[in-house]
Amino acid sequence: MLSALQSLSLAANNMSGSIPRQLGQCSNLRYLNLSRNKFNEDIPFEIGILQFLQILDLSHNILTGQLPSQLAQLQRLETLNISHNRISGSIPSAFDNMLSLTSVDISYNQFEGQLPNSKAFSEAPFERLRNNKDLCGNSTGLKPCSFASQNPRGKRSNKVLLILVLLFGSLALLFVIVGVLLILRKRIRDKEKVSREAQTGIPFTLWCCDGKIEHSDIIKATEGFDSKHCVGEGGFGSVYKAELPTGEVLAIKKLHTQPEGGMTNLKAFTSEIHALTEIRHRNIVKLYGFCLNPEHCFLAYEFFKGGSLEKLLSSEEKAMKFDWIKRINVIKGVSYALSYMHHDCSPPIVHRDISSKNVLLDLDYEAHISDFGTARLLKSDSSNWTSFAGTFGYSAPELAYTLVVNEKCDVYSFGVVTLEIITGKYPGDLISSLSSSTYHNLLFKDLLDQCISPPTNQIVGYIVFLMKAVFLCLHSNSEYRPTMQQVSQYLSIPRPDFQEQFHIMTLGEILKFDSNSILVKNPCSKVRLFSELGTAGKPDSSNRLPICLLN
């Protein structure tokens, strides 16, 4: 193996042609001697990759071109001999930093310009520097460098430098002036906005459109929230498409009013909305603003032309274009967003309503989680709520008898949405059958969405690993569900091609499939998927085994 080679001497062999660039693959090379041959052309820059090289001798050849600056990366190089060649140009200034270099010989070449400012060059005997074109520097036998020789452009470069200083100075002054004007303009607009709100009594805030959009523009764009502009319905409100005068398009979620009218805690709601606007993630819909008018209380989001995942799967024509690679990327995107909410936000944010209708797609099928106006900041003393929030069929089973909400509720909903993407429909019947052993006999291929072509072996391999994680996410006991951070990391691992005959395998066989130590089996026939997902909880002491974990 070239990578194991430490010493190579091909000196005095009458070899010709260019020096092989494959030498850069000899990653452990310490000694390289190609002297006294007939090598020509340039010195290959790949030699600069040899980080362990200590001695390099290329003398007595016919090498031409300039000295590659990459050679300065050889921080362990002690001896450099490139004498008796035809190498031209100046020696790269980066050679000043070669602190390990103790001996150099560059004689009988065509070098010109200033000698590097390092001990190895400045203390080198004249015999090792002689017979070059026009070398100068602080070394015995060489003429001192004039400013012009150090910088060939001489006074001209000074003029260019002066021009650049004046140019950048003018630009900096211009930026300061523009910045001051923008600050003054913003203050004036803020005062006008406060004045408008004082007149109308409508608290309205929008962090986009350069402050040009008013509350009346939203009402006008939706024609007073007419049903013909409605593009979606949710448990907390209806979503309308608003085409603004600026040409921008927003999704306006008009929240359902409370039984007593208006928002009961304006200060708390406003502070929470401001916290949610700080979220910045490519797979989370941006919240642009809100309005707290008791008659029209709404949230403003970015609009996605791809619509919701629910509508895509319900349309056979659209679902046929939703191939397996796009589906897997959507699943990954949702997992990344939830992992960010649960583990990278402080305090963590629990969505509480992950479902296919709240996963929006752009035209490139990139997933974006929406409905953040209904999400809650999970503080240490706020895991209990007095009302149910979510979509039936997607919510975790424990919410049927308790209102204790934590991140594991989102994990369960993620499992449902993932199964929906894989099967092409809401997987209610499949989830219901998980408490029995009947699902073991289902053919794996029959679970996959039939409106698109069967997946390739590579995609099948990924889906097999994905199914293992999904069924853990659907565990009836929240303690045994993995975290979304574990799931997102697990989904990021490349998977090998699936070599089994998957079209005749049952779901039970798929879930027991052992590959690359993904499953850890114990003598009691329990199979637990934690070797890659991490430990999601303490060992199950109940008699009921985790779903999908039976032989």
pLDDT at 517 over 50: no
pLDDT of residue 543 exceeding 60 = no
pLDDT, tens only, 42-66: 999 999 989 889 999 999 999 999 9
Statement to judge: residues 383 and 282 lie in one domain:
no
The SS3 assignment for 303 reads coil
Does residue 292 sit in the same domain as residue 315? Answer: no
Lowest mean pLDDT among 95-99, 104-108, 153-157, 277-281: 153-157
Whole-number pLDDT of residue 473: 94
Using alpha carbons, select from 215, 409, 382 the residue that is nearest to residue 294: 215
How much of the chain, in percent, has pLDDT values that exceed 70? 77
State yes or no: is 353 an active-site residue: yes
CATH classification of the domain holding 271: 3.30.200.20
Q: What is the pLDDT of residue 162?
A: 82
Q: Is residue 14 part of a domain?
A: yes
Residue indicated by tokens 């359902």: 256
Arithmetic mean of pLDDT, 495-517 = 69
Residue 258 lies in a domain: yes
Q: Which of 67-71, 150-154, 158-162, 320-324 has the lowest mean pLDDT?
A: 150-154
Domain edge (last residue) among 268, 302, 336: 302
Residue 526 lies in a domain: no
Q: For residue 60, what pLDDT is reported?
A: 93
Has residue 202 got a pLDDT over 80? Answer: no
Same structural domain, 259 and 350: no
Confidence of residue 506 (pLDDT cuts 50, 70, 90): confident
Helices of type H across 376-524: 407-423, 428-432, 444-447, 457-473, 484-491, 507-512
Tokens 């999601």 label which residue?
536
pLDDT number for residue 317: 93
Mean pLDDT of 403-427: 92
Asked if residue 479 is part of any domain, the answer here is yes
Which pLDDT belongs to residue 245?
80
In a domain, 486, yes or no: yes
The reply to whether 290 and 329 lie within a common domain is no
Q: Does 357 belong to an annotated binding site? A: no
Domain of residue 485, CATH code: 1.10.510.10
- Facing residues of 39 across strands? 17
* Tens digits of residue pLDDT in 326-379: 999 999 999 999 999 999 988 888 888 899 998 999 999 999 998 764 566 555
On whether both 293 and 320 belong to a single domain, the answer is: no
User: What phi, psi does 460 have (nearest 5°)?
Assistant: -60, -45
DSSP class of 295: S
Distant-in-sequence, close-in-space partners of 60: CB < 8 Å, separation ≥ 6: 35, 36, 37, 83, 84, 85
Note if the pTM is more than 0.85.
no
Higher model confidence: residue 380 or residue 456? 456
* 427 and 412 fall within a common domain: yes
Lowest mean pLDDT among 76-80, 188-192, 338-342, 448-452: 188-192
**Model pLDDT, residue 499:** 64
Q: Is residue 240 domain-shared with residue 92, that is, in the same domain? A: no
Is there a single domain that holds both residue 289 and residue 330?
no
Q: How far is CA 403 from CA 387, 399, 412, 498, in A?
A: 7, 6, 15, 42
56 with 113, same domain? yes
Residues 6+ apart with CB under 8 A from 199: none
pLDDT value, residue 428? 87
The reported pLDDT for the residue numbered 547 is 34
Averaged pLDDT for residues 86-101? 89
Same domain, yes or no, for 15 and 107? yes
| Nearest one of 509, 506, 511 to 468, comparing CA atoms | 511
pLDDT in tens, 262-311: 444 455 556 567 667 778 899 998 888 788 776 677 888 888 989 999 99
Neighbour tally for 478: CB within 10 Å: 19
Q: Alpha helix locations (H) across 315-380? A: 316-320, 324-343
The confidence score (pLDDT) of residue 343 equals 93
Q: Distance of alpha carbon 481 from its chain centroid, rounded?
A: 25
Residue at a domain's end among 136, 160, 177: 136
Domain annotation covers residue 174? no
Instruction: Tell me 231's DSSP state.
Output: E
pLDDT at 546 over 50: no
73's CB contacts (< 8 A; 6+ apart) are 48, 49, 51
Question: Does a cis peptide bond (omega within 30 degrees of 0) precede residue 496?
Answer: no
Among 251, 281, 302, give the residue marking a domain's end: 302
Q: What is the pLDDT of residue 264?
A: 46
Please report whether residue 521 resides in a domain.
no
**Distance (Å, whole) CA 144 – CA 148:** 11
Range of the domain at 268: 215-302
The total number of structural domains that make up the chain: 3
Residue 318: is its pLDDT beyond 80?
yes
The reply to whether 415 and 436 lie within a common domain is yes
Three-state secondary-structure class, residue 510: helix
**Could you tell me which residue, 247 or 546, shows the higher pLDDT?**
247
User: CB under 8 Å to 131, separation ≥6 — which residues?
Assistant: 107, 108, 109
Structure confidence at residue 156 (pLDDT): 57
Catalytic residue among 42, 226, 323, 353: 353
The answer as to whether 358 is a domain residue is yes
Co-location of 255 and 381 in the same domain: no
d(CA 236, CA 254): 8
What CATH number is given to the structural domain containing 74? 3.80.10.10
Alpha-carbon span 114 to 92, nearest angstrom? 9
Alpha helices in 201-278 (DSSP H): 215-221, 266-276
**pLDDT score, position 275:** 62
Phi, psi of 391 (to 5 degrees): -120, 125
| 503, amino acid identity | H
pLDDT at 131 over 80: yes
Task: Quote helix, strand, coil % in the chain, to nearest 5.
Answer: 40, 15, 45
